[in-house]
Amino acid sequence: MAALFYGQELSSALMLGTAQYPSPEILRDAVLAAQPGVLTVSLRRESAGERAGQAFWSLVQELGVPVLPNTAGCHTVREAVTTAHMAREVFGTDWIKLEVIGELDTLQPDVFGLVEAARILTEEGFKVFPYTTEDLVVAERLLAAGCEVLMPWGAPIGSGKGLNNLFGLRAMRAHFPSVPLVVDAGIGVPSHAAQALELGYDAVLINTAVAKAGDPVAMARAFGLAVQAGTLARQADPMEARDMAAPSTPVAGKAFLG
């Protein structure tokens, strides 16, 4: 059964970012190729350049894909909360991807500020999608603050390194079997996305890997297929890995010469 994100089932396990594309036309074609379940949009990106911002928002609306605004680039609780309120007005949704960045080189979340901001926003009626680490204690705090979804990073934003901490991601999935989980950040190629779905994650969020590809439209299509493959593989109950070989051809009834 597909996970519900605050009561809503997504049409695809792919969440696609809308920043850094070479042109609006390529963004539109990439979205059509990938068929994502959600588009993430930044208030800062939408507002930049006044008319350009309005044109961008019109394009997103025309695509007809549910929107998840984010607080990208926020470094304090106050900044994140203020940006979330502005996003709710602009985009007309109480969904918010919450980012509170604590370290500039890795863009690692400030988990202390994240929990505080999540508590404030959930109390104010927001449905919060927190960008966090794979730390289980932080995850518990976010759930206690009212979050119903967790978005641990795979690797630093824009790094393309994939799933850096498989043990931590597996532990989070095992520890929170009924919580919708999204791998957010660091995914570089479609196989990383498929791997996340095979681990039992409910969705992945991709931006840089598509927008900065040599052919963003082809890469978007590849990611759309990868999340389908990963989901189907998980549902098919994959075989367990073994330390020793096991014959794939049965030996029962095989003739032996004396």
Active site residue 97: yes
185 is in an annotated binding site: yes
Question: What 3-state DSSP class applies to 229?
Answer: helix
Candidates 97, 127, 161, 254; catalytic one: 97
Buried-state track 218-238, b at ≥16 Cβ within 10 A, e below 16 = ebbbbbbbbbbebbeebeeee
Looking up tokens 């493959």, which residue turns up? 229
In angstroms, the CA 5 to CA 149 distance is 7
In angstroms, the CA 203 to CA 238 distance is 18
19 is in an annotated binding site: no
208 is in an annotated binding site: yes
- Residues with Cβ within 8 Å of 253's Cβ and at least 6 positions away in sequence, in order, are none
207 is in an annotated binding site: yes
Contact (Cβ atoms closer than 8 angstroms) between residue 36 and residue 15: yes
Signed CA dihedral, 49, 55, 58, 62: sign only: negative
As annotated, the active-site residues are 97
Binding-site members for 1-deoxy-D-xylulose 5-phosphate are 158, 185-186, 207-208
